Structure 1
Amino acid sequence: MPIRGGYSVTSEQERIIDHVVAKRVTVVSAGAGSGKTYTMIATVMELIEMQPDTVRLDDFVLITFTNKAADEMRERLEKAVTEKMTKAQGQGLDNEYERWMVQKERITSTFIGTIHAFCSKLLRAFGYEERVAHEAEVLMARRYYQEALDQTLLESLQTPDEVFLFRETGLAPYELKKMVTSWYERLRGRGRQPKIVLEETLRQPHDGNNHYRVAVARMLERLHRNYERVKQERGGVDSNDLLSKTVALLDKQKEHVNKLIGSLFRYIFVDEFQDTDRLQKQIIQSLEPYVLKVLMVGDRKQSVYEFRGAEESILQEMAIEMKVDLLLLSISRRPTATLLEAQNALFQNMGTRYPVLKDLLSNPPDARYPTDRMVPFRYMHVTGDPRDMQSRIDLTKSIVRRYLRQEIDRSGLRKVRLNDICLIFRTNEALQAYATAFQGEFSIQLDNEKGFFQKPEIVGIYYLLQAIVKYPNDVTVALLQNSPYLPFTSPFVTHTKNPAIHPLWDWLRQDTKAKDWYAGMMEIRHRAKSELVPPLLVRILEFTKVREYYAGKGNLQAIANIEKLLSWSRDLMHAEALTLHQFVERLQIAFLTDESMEEAKIGESSVDAIRFSTVHAAKGLEYPIVIIPEMQRPISNTEYSPEFFDIREFGIDLALEGSNRSIIGSSDLYNQWLAQYNENLRKEEARIFYVGVTRAENVICLIGGGYNPSKINQKYWSWKDEVVSAASELTSLGESKVVLSL
């Protein structure tokens, strides 16, 4: 096999690496399990090997979709460099050993992280151009949004052109808050300015319903103004600001800032580019002329974040706009040869409806042919009322028991274990229902949980660290009041716009009951100059006595979560020696991006457990046996219609339920938007199904229900109908490879 960067690579990987070496821009469509990260690491190593005296690791920006993926890439890069050092040392090549030693030392200063973390880094260095405060002024802005939302709704209630929305929809305040928030987040996720959306909506023809649409557009524009005002006053940013302000910075200051960035970073590599939104795409395009090379890798078939503004076409668009070919990485080592044959039969049929799925994966020359007797692809059906979930749960349990009695070929035959099996679900509701039913009989582990970094005990530590690094900023410490981390309340309003005045800190320094707390904070500030983060966190837990507080409340989960955060800090220190300021920045990104992490396990836990995951949480992972229940779930419900559309050049369209249950707010074009929405939804659901099926390494088992298993339901199309449509292609492979209970 060819060697690049010291790695054995396939002919496809060789072509991609050589393209990066020869060209400025490379765009790659990489299938599931085709070795995207492996190829990126090999490319980095090849560029260094070709010019060992001029190319440095910290010349690279390696952008990943999640912080977990960033940590994994850093570990793999460190391993690759260490192996180079070991080899050089073993061969007595002292100069080469020294060169790789220098590269290893540069890993800590190499940027490896999410696009939000990269934008945060740029704004901290150059953000003054966009009136973004330096590090001492930046805060998490989530609670400020609620303040802006409350103010907006109060103003709308006092505005004649908007108050009728409350009356005619009959929505309770909390319901309207939820709806307005979802609409606002949708606009921002798509890079839309509420002011422009309002202008577009005002230009719509008067059709008897447009006053509803204009009222909503005005409300969203007012919300945006209020939110921006509050953030500017308090020094807050959110995850969208990191992107939008970076775009504005790079656009307005391209001849100054972009050149400086290009002198700091010479290579930009982006993984999972198919999940990039328009703002992120603009950032990469703005920087491309100022760096030596750009590599973008993704899989159009795994673009499943349309609700965040990602678009399946963005990878192809980038290749066209950059005037380069879209290179393919299609050899997959994840599935066995027999499973891949069945998967391709399914996807080939689906490709007739969804052209993006036509790019099939292929086997490597040394493909795995398992020696066990397990059927690689199976569909099981419970005939009956589709509302009867319990019968499908019972079938799923029986299938799991059957698998646990069998042998599986995992580099040799052995018994199937619990942790070989992952149940993957489309919705959290189904996952929770199955998890509850399984808990009494099986050890299980939930992988769908997000929000670890939003838990009160973790938020408290975050605010406390912010107060330490931003001392003497009163706004930061005010967030801690009446929490276990600061159980005192100041006798006055603490907010001030004058950065030279610090009444809250002055009060804490002088108040007798806060004496020990204040002394603890000052001690941490002093120790932070010389100590690593983990011992600083331990000291914080000691002087705040927060573990004792939660113990007194009987909240063992909170204590376990705090200990997990401490362990997380140690893991980060092992990968990279972070200062306290850098750790707080890393923690802030975890907040802003709602990084996925499970809560800590309490009590006895077993590594040998069945995994329960949503499709989105399972993305990027792989399991020997994958079971996907609830295949009959309709992709779209024809009795439900989205209540909000944002159409470029048109503005807002609505379908709100009035107090008399009639639909209000719709334009004459609403049904056209709805048809396009349903078409896009079906395409995305096909890609989500693709992600779920391609998590399997040895076996995929699909389970559905309904009265007629072999009938295709056009009205309520489901993943089951995708399988039924491909029944002929699948069954032609023979019962040793495919079993369909239709």
Structure 2
Amino acid sequence: MAVTFTPDQQATIDARGSSILVSAAAGSGKTAVLVERIIQMVSDGEHPVDIDRLLVVTFTNAAAAQMRERITQALSARVDDNPGNAHLLKQLTLIHNAQITTIDSFCLYIIRNHFDEIDLDPDFRVADDGEIKLLMQDVLAQMLEDYFTEGREDFLACVEYFAPTGKEKRLEEQILGLYEFAMSYPWPGEWLELHKEDYAVSPENLEECRWVGLLEDYVRTMLAEAGDSLDQARMLCEEADGPYMYLDTLEADKNTIDRLASADSLQELYERFSVLSFGRISSKKDDSVLPEKREKAREIRNSVKDLLNGLAKKYFYASPQAQAERMAACAPYVSCLLSLTDDFRMRLDAKKREKNLMDFHDMEHMALQILTEKREDGVYPTAAAREMREYYAEIMIDEYQDSNLVQEYLLKSISGEEDGKFNRFMVGDVKQSIYKFRLARPELFMEKFDSYGKGEGKERRIDLKQNFRSRRQVTDSVNACFSVLMGRDLGGVEYDEDAALYPGAVFPEPEGEEEDVYRTEVLLTMSEEDGLEDREREALAIAGKIRRIVGTLPVVDKESGELRPAGYGDIVILLRTTAGWDEVFKKVLEKSGIPVYITSKTGYFAATEVQTILNFLKVLSNPLQDIPLFGVLKSDAAGFTDEDIACMKAEMEGEGRRLFTCLTSYTEKGSREELCEKARRFCSMLERFRRYVAYMPIHQLIEQFLKETGYLYTISALPGGEQRRANVEMLLSRAENFEKTSYFGLFHFIRYMEQVEKYNIDYGEANIQDENADTVRIMSIHKSKGLEFPVCFVAGLSKKFNMQDTSKPVIMDMDYGIALDFVDIESRVKGNTLKKSVLSGKLRRDSLGEELRVLYVAMTRPQEKLILTGSCKDEEKVRRMLENGEDYERAGGRLGFIPRSEAASYLDWLLPAWAVCGQEVTLLSGSDLLQENMEEEQGREYLRQRLRTFEREASEEKQEEVEKLRLLREHMESVYPHENLKNLYTKTTVSELKKAGMEEAAEEAYHLFEEKEIVPYLPRFVREEEAVSGTARGSAYHKALEIFPFERLAQEKGAGPADREKVKELLNQMTETGALSREFRAAVNPDKIARFLESDLAARMAGAAVKKKLHKEQPFVLGLPASMLNPGFPQEETVLIQGIIDVYLEEEDGLVVADYKTDSVTHAQELVNRYQVQLDYYALALEQLTGRRVKEKIIYSFALAEEVMLGAAGGPYLK
């Protein structure tokens, strides 16, 4: 079925001969449009373009792969329609080499093809983040050591300024932070050099600094807001019952604001703010004035006074001359810090060249070096860039709002715009620019958004406003909130008719629904003394809502397009940050019976099994580290208890304070022999592993640790064993990757992992869950970008914004340079500089704009239903804010800049926005939630009792109501017509059927999981002589007899009791060859094997073995009518039964099925009762598989040393 595009989409597809900016709103189908544009260009009848002459740059590898796949599918469809079209067939060949790629991969492509132009060894390697962090630390440490050795006064003064004694790490942090920031600039060395003089100001030229204009603009904005607030108060006073006596004071306040706003310079602003004062408000009383209006007017005036006093305190606490002098005093330290950073950059570059490796910063800068030449009068394309200009027909950039300045110069250099060939196609949505932490520059998008015309032209803008993702209820909620909250001043774009979402998809509507089931809901939990944390309370609210949604809310099925009840897999919970939230939510939801899948990149290094192995490696490197040693001793790998460690420390107190000293001393002088032996075994292992370190690679060292201690088996048996095992395997993989880096050895591996952890290069726990399973997903908002979900919870709305960057010692801005605090080295007095205050305020506003865009991304993910959740501590304040929406409105319906810029959480924005747009908000108490989460059956029982009461009390006149109640009861008590099938599984095991037979008296349904037979692996240095478990023993005997050479038994005419040593020797040979593990060998008693070999069954097996008629460990799958398992199941249903037959032998007159049992029993009948059903199914399976009759079923009991013959079928379900 052909896709029908909207006029704007079609215009985007058809536009040629222009550079185009597509402002594509959330859910507007930009990917489909981009793919169709490519297909149209490739298949154009008059001017076709080869697919490999299009450069398509996407944001992620996944997006690039998806784009390539969709283009390939579209091309294949065209070829199917035109099988003789040679050009289209050629495109299917070229698609594999087409440049549909990320910017990093494209840069790598440029470098590999032009490495000689920058004198680069072509055998370079791209380092991972961990290796680069390690290299940076080494280079920085060496650089600082060199400077300290040289002892230059300017450097030592800089150290004293930024890192007083004992805090040298602070200087390292400043250098590394500046380096990372500068690397987002096309020419980082130039940027660092440019801003060395940032603080070299004088009172005379302070006004000329660009950032002063930033301050003046901000102050005027705030003064205008304050004036608007006073106008609102004055209108209130002029109402019939308003506080008219305040008018004169408010008029004077307005004049004060006007006088401040008319200041023409920083000096005038200082002079006027420094004498700021407010008159006393009238105390006149008049009963005709409403108290509420009097209080409201006073509240507005007080907020204006606080605002103006706050501006004076933050920016105008000192004269411009004093500010300039304070900044000038900082100038040498600024210059020195930037020089150190630039020196570090050059040293790091040299070291990377020496090691022939590069990182992602290098990719971009090397590619830029190949494509551009920086001169005093501008940036010019190189011959390589001009060659690419000629080659590429169009440069297509997806997610353009997330580009940085380096990427902009790169792609501009190979476009033909400077030569009159307008061939850039940029698509994105500035409202979804949420990668400020990656130094994205959304202003690049906005510059073109403002300058490109909407009509025809060489630079053209097209807006895609229709949303094809979400129901009208979702888009209405988004528009209602962001038309109030988002503007050019906060968020970067005006949320007007061009930015709003317009529903474009047609959704089927459910029949018979009286209320709007898709309306956006807001759930706020109230803090109270209920023993719950806010996030637990919120999770309970979400759990309750999920239970009401699943199975009842109709959602559109992707395959059929029809409505169906929502499942868990249709629901996602989005969080601003998952750290500290996802595990709490997961725990609460799972406790409520809701399956959960977490998409997270945190938690790996906190996993116990990872910590244990890393601690062991640290102890190998230096055993005198108490904390890592304690962690290893306490772990399951070593098995020491708190009491053990305390005993060693107490008894060896005189030997030294170190734990390792106490441990080694205790091996010789300890009072508890058992503990002495345990300590000796551990120390012996430690010494052995310290020898391994000299020649064994890290990953092999870890593998050896797992092997000798059995730690992998131990953690696999713990709760969450599969996850734990996957985490260890991931660590092994990381160790192997480390060995491919330029570093090697245990010491550097430990440093490598410490750097990875320190810089939050966390891998997330190894993922063993199926993301597509029917589970509720929890993920970060950033992770959800580009995705869509039928039902979406946006949670944690009351969490405070992270504004830590605004209070850092050094603040960086790409346009305005750096700013720092003033420090008097002698007195250690510290204070803000004016520039630091200005850039700190700008950074806060930029961060708030980013947070607003993050919220927009979150609220535009749902297809069907949006639910917003948070918590509140002051219920009355919330109710008051919701009831006074008119207080927040301003001209054009926009919330004022002041309340928007002072927000500390999403809730601070959304409450007034909801008040303005009339959104209904549900407030939930902890007791409500706990009551709601009570067991469902308790609620049912209560309703049943109430129904019985109503029926008893009903009179003849109430007969109609009674009948309704009876119908309600019938509905409640109705039984699913196929209730008997709910315990019917399509596949089961013989073991479970056996178990079901044994449990029939208790009328319990059987469960479909097989109990694995595992021999527990004990650490070699703590292994004790202890009884082997029954399950382990059974596995050992089965394995021994599976590989036992029965042909030799026939030749030797039986082993006999005198040949016990021969059996023992045979078992030992099996172990030495690896056929039988040492653990299994230890569990097998040669005497019992010898007695078995005397039996008639063993003789028959030996005879069959010679004739090749002996079959061991035979797996099978058997299909049976369900009614054979239970007469209550229908005949037409089929159940698959799987199992493994220990042994069967073919004889002339039929088959013999046998099974070995090691159960500790005293009578043969116990085995008959336990295993009759199991062998009945074995027999049935063999008869179906072979077509031959099973004549005998035998159990050999090692406990009784005898054969037990079973009779005819006796399984309880085989009727």
The TM-score range, normalised by the shorter chain, is: 0.7 to 0.9
Contact kept in structure 1, 2:571 and 2:777, CA below 8 Å: yes
Partner secondary structure for residue 356 of structure 1: coil
**In angstroms, what is the RMSD of aligned CA positions?**
4.1
Q: Relative to structure 1, is the Cα distance of residues 448 and 10 closer, same or farther in structure 2, using a 3 angstrom cutoff?
A: farther
Contact kept in structure 2, 1:449 and 1:597, CA below 8 Å: yes
User: In the alignment, does 2:494 pair up with 1:356?
Assistant: yes
Q: Which one is further off, 185-194 or 365-374?
A: 365-374
Q: Name 2:506's counterpart in structure 1.
A: 366
Cα distance, 1:198 vs. partner?
4.2
Matches within 5 A, 1:565-584: none
Q: Name 1:148's counterpart in structure 2.
A: 139
**Counterpart pick for 1:390 among 531, 536, 557:** 536
Post-superposition Cα deviations, 1:292-327, rounded to whole Å, max 9, x if no partner, equal 732110001001112222122212324567762321
Post-superposition Cα deviations, 1:334-369, rounded to whole Å, max 9, x if no partner, equal 111222122211122123564433310112263555
Cα distance, 1:39 vs. partner?
0.5
**Counterpart pick for 2:192 among 197, 201, 215:** 197
User: In the alignment, does 2:121 pair up with 1:133?
Assistant: yes
Q: Relative to structure 1, is the Cα distance of residues 626 and 95 closer, same or farther in structure 2, using a 3 angstrom cutoff?
A: same
Q: Name 1:437's counterpart in structure 2.
A: 587
Partner secondary structure for residue 548 of structure 2: helix
Contact kept in structure 2, 1:378 and 1:700, CA below 8 Å: yes
Letter in 1 for 2:500: L
Q: Name 1:409's counterpart in structure 2.
A: 555
The CA distance in 2 between the partners of 1:599 and 1:74, in whole Å, is 30
Contact kept in structure 1, 2:803 and 2:844, CA below 8 Å: no
Partner secondary structure for residue 297 of structure 1: strand
Matches within 5 A, 1:248-647: 248-252=369-373, 254-289=381-416, 293-318=423-448, 324-351=459-486, 354=491, 355-358=493-496, 359-364=499-504, 366=506, 369=509, 374-384=517-527, 388-404=534-550, 406-410=552-556, 411-435=561-585, 437-438=587-588, 440-441=590-591, 442-449=594-601, 554=712, 556-557=725-726, 561=730, 600-602=766-768, 607-635=773-801, 641-647=807-813
**Counterpart pick for 1:231 among 343, 352, 355:** 352
Q: Relative to structure 1, is the Cα distance of residues 553 and 127 closer, same or farther in structure 2, using a 3 angstrom cutoff?
A: farther
The CA distance in 1 between the partners of 2:805 and 2:390, in whole Å, is 56
**Counterpart pick for 1:220 among 312, 333, 341:** 341
Q: TM-score, normalised by structure 1?
A: 0.73
Contact kept in structure 1, 2:398 and 2:428, CA below 8 Å: yes
Q: Relative to structure 1, is the Cα distance of residues 553 and 681 closer, same or farther in structure 2, using a 3 angstrom cutoff?
A: same
Q: Which one is further off, 6-15 or 160-169?
A: 160-169
The CA distance in 2 between the partners of 1:705 and 1:677, in whole Å, is 27
Post-superposition Cα deviations, 1:251-303, rounded to whole Å, max 9, x if no partner, equal 12735112322344322211100000111111121111177732110001001
Letter in 1 for 2:195: E
Partner secondary structure for residue 700 of structure 1: strand
Q: Relative to structure 1, is the Cα distance of residues 436 and 728 closer, same or farther in structure 2, using a 3 angstrom cutoff?
A: closer
Q: Relative to structure 1, is the Cα distance of residues 741 and 558 closer, same or farther in structure 2, using a 3 angstrom cutoff?
A: closer
Letter in 2 for 1:723: L
Letter in 1 for 2:427: V
Q: Relative to structure 1, is the Cα distance of residues 330 and 156 closer, same or farther in structure 2, using a 3 angstrom cutoff?
A: farther
The sequence identity of aligned pairs, in percent, is: 19
Q: Name 2:155's counterpart in structure 1.
A: 162
Q: Relative to structure 1, is the Cα distance of residues 307 and 80 closer, same or farther in structure 2, using a 3 angstrom cutoff?
A: same
Contact kept in structure 1, 2:527 and 2:534, CA below 8 Å: yes
- Pairs aligned (count): 616
Cα distance, 1:43 vs. partner?
0.3
The CA distance in 1 between the partners of 2:476 and 2:449, in whole Å, is 30
Contact kept in structure 2, 1:731 and 1:740, CA below 8 Å: no
Letter in 2 for 1:611: R
Contact kept in structure 2, 1:301 and 1:312, CA below 8 Å: no
The CA distance in 2 between the partners of 1:365 and 1:623, in whole Å, is 15
Contact kept in structure 2, 1:392 and 1:704, CA below 8 Å: yes
Q: Relative to structure 1, is the Cα distance of residues 616 and 316 closer, same or farther in structure 2, using a 3 angstrom cutoff?
A: same
Matches within 5 A, 1:35-114: 35-51=29-45, 54-88=48-82, 94-96=83-85, 98-114=86-102
Q: Relative to structure 1, is the Cα distance of residues 321 and 14 closer, same or farther in structure 2, using a 3 angstrom cutoff?
A: same
The CA distance in 1 between the partners of 2:823 and 2:518, in whole Å, is 49
**Counterpart pick for 2:17 among 20, 23, 44:** 23
The CA distance in 2 between the partners of 1:75 and 1:562, in whole Å, is 33
Letter in 2 for 1:360: A
Post-superposition Cα deviations, 1:584-611, rounded to whole Å, max 9, x if no partner, equal xxxxxxxxxx999876434898712221
The CA distance in 1 between the partners of 2:763 and 2:908, in whole Å, is 34
Q: Name 2:910's counterpart in structure 1.
A: 723
Contact kept in structure 2, 1:382 and 1:704, CA below 8 Å: yes
The CA distance in 2 between the partners of 1:374 and 1:317, in whole Å, is 42
Post-superposition Cα deviations, 1:542-573, rounded to whole Å, max 9, x if no partner, equal xx9998987776273257659999xxxxxxxx
Contact kept in structure 2, 1:561 and 1:600, CA below 8 Å: yes
Post-superposition Cα deviations, 1:107-146, rounded to whole Å, max 9, x if no partner, equal 1111111111101101111132223332456655614323
Q: Name 1:118's counterpart in structure 2.
A: 106
Contact kept in structure 1, 2:22 and 2:462, CA below 8 Å: yes
The CA distance in 2 between the partners of 1:656 and 1:412, in whole Å, is 66
The CA distance in 1 between the partners of 2:732 and 2:5, in whole Å, is 41
**Counterpart pick for 1:242 among 336, 342, 363:** 363
Matches within 5 A, 1:659-678: 664=830, 666-678=832-844
Contact kept in structure 2, 1:267 and 1:294, CA below 8 Å: yes
The CA distance in 2 between the partners of 1:263 and 1:550, in whole Å, is 58
Letter in 2 for 1:414: R
Contact kept in structure 2, 1:120 and 1:242, CA below 8 Å: yes
Contact kept in structure 1, 2:526 and 2:923, CA below 8 Å: no
List runs of 5+ in structure 2 lacking aligned partners. Answer: 202-324, 374-379, 453-457, 608-691, 713-723, 735-759, 882-898, 925-1215
Q: Bigger relative contact order, structure 1 or 2, given CA contacts below 8 A and separation 6+? A: 1
Q: Which one is further off, 653-662 or 675-684?
A: 653-662
The CA distance in 2 between the partners of 1:71 and 1:639, in whole Å, is 35
Contact kept in structure 1, 2:554 and 2:564, CA below 8 Å: yes
Q: Which one is further off, 201-210 or 162-171?
A: 162-171
Q: Relative to structure 1, is the Cα distance of residues 12 and 123 closer, same or farther in structure 2, using a 3 angstrom cutoff?
A: same
Q: Relative to structure 1, is the Cα distance of residues 330 and 740 closer, same or farther in structure 2, using a 3 angstrom cutoff?
A: farther
Cα distance, 1:400 vs. partner?
2.6
The CA distance in 2 between the partners of 1:446 and 1:624, in whole Å, is 18
Cα distance, 1:633 vs. partner?
2.3
Q: Relative to structure 1, is the Cα distance of residues 739 and 436 closer, same or farther in structure 2, using a 3 angstrom cutoff?
A: closer
List runs of 5+ in structure 1 lacking aligned partners. Answer: 89-93, 456-512, 519-540, 566-593, 733-737
Letter in 2 for 1:38: A
Cα distance, 1:451 vs. partner?
11
Higher radius of gyration, 1 or 2: 2
The CA distance in 2 between the partners of 1:449 and 1:38, in whole Å, is 30
Post-superposition Cα deviations, 1:32-58, rounded to whole Å, max 9, x if no partner, equal 111111011000111122148842221
Letter in 2 for 1:83: A
Letter in 1 for 2:6: T
The CA distance in 2 between the partners of 1:659 and 1:607, in whole Å, is 61
Q: TM-score, normalised by structure 2?
A: 0.46
Post-superposition Cα deviations, 1:364-398, rounded to whole Å, max 9, x if no partner, equal 26355566653431111122379843322332332
Partner secondary structure for residue 209 of structure 1: helix
The CA distance in 1 between the partners of 2:94 and 2:46, in whole Å, is 13
Q: Which one is further off, 110-119 or 702-711?
A: 702-711
Q: Relative to structure 1, is the Cα distance of residues 303 and 595 closer, same or farther in structure 2, using a 3 angstrom cutoff?
A: farther
Q: Which one is further off, 714-723 or 686-695?
A: 714-723
Contact kept in structure 2, 1:180 and 1:220, CA below 8 Å: yes
Q: Relative to structure 1, is the Cα distance of residues 636 and 137 closer, same or farther in structure 2, using a 3 angstrom cutoff?
A: closer
